[in-house]
Structure 1
């Protein structure tokens, strides 16, 4: 196995992490993706101060992702946008993701898929077991 030359590689920027998230989403089962209609996926470097306080985080590195909105189980979804509420959103936080990735033995693609499925799972009200099966189906 050839060794990777890391000397010229840089950490993925926001655009690269967004592309990873889009690719991870595209690999999810069709039925799962159809139910995500209207869910917006955003990538930011860190959560904002309000989010950190609301989630009880001690550090800006404590949160890898977040679902904000009204889940399907609570009547959320694309149809609920007519009420004037914000769309359901999944936030992925680049710097905490990269920090976690650097400390664990998994690929960045796997980590992004895991966090994305977990946060979208909140939209559906899924159990951890349900989310694990969806991750496995996504490869």
Structure 2
């Protein structure tokens, strides 16, 4: 049985940089349903390699690879309470944890980024897992 080259152009590729992951995230966000995106308003979406040590400690994570994304700020359901946030609402996606997850599963990188983005935005809006699954299904 003859073997064929299955590597495509992977032999010369590097893992996606933060800038490339940001582009992938922008693309994923652009494909979310318009109604969902329009609700996001001024939510800041950013990327980092890992969460800060304080976040790892506060969340009791075993390693920084345990967190793919994080919503920080005041959720929609909390806006009318007496609590105040420390700054703007922000969603951070963690590149290294996402890449690690990607390496261990049979999913496309863009699908993983979309999933994490939907769930972090969903946490901001207080959506149920069922609601987020419907939004994710509508992007496929």
Same fold (TM over 0.5): yes
Which TM-score applies when normalising by structure 2?
0.89
Q: 2:22 aligns with which of 9, 18, 24?
A: 18
Structure 1, unmatched stretches of 5+, are: 77-82
Q: CA deviation at 1:74?
A: 1.4
Partner of 1:112: 113
Partner of 2:89: 88
Q: CA deviation at 1:5?
A: 2.9
Partner of 1:125: 126
What is the CA RMSD across the aligned residues, in angstroms? 1.6
Structure 2, unmatched stretches of 5+, are: none
Q: Larger Cα Rg: Structure 1 or Structure 2?
A: 2
Give secondary structure in 2 for the equivalent of 1:43: strand
Matches within 5 A, 1:1-139: 3=6, 4-75=8-79, 85-139=86-140
Which TM-score applies when normalising by structure 1?
0.90
1:6-41 Cα offsets, whole Å, 9 max, x none, are: 110110000000111111111111111111000000
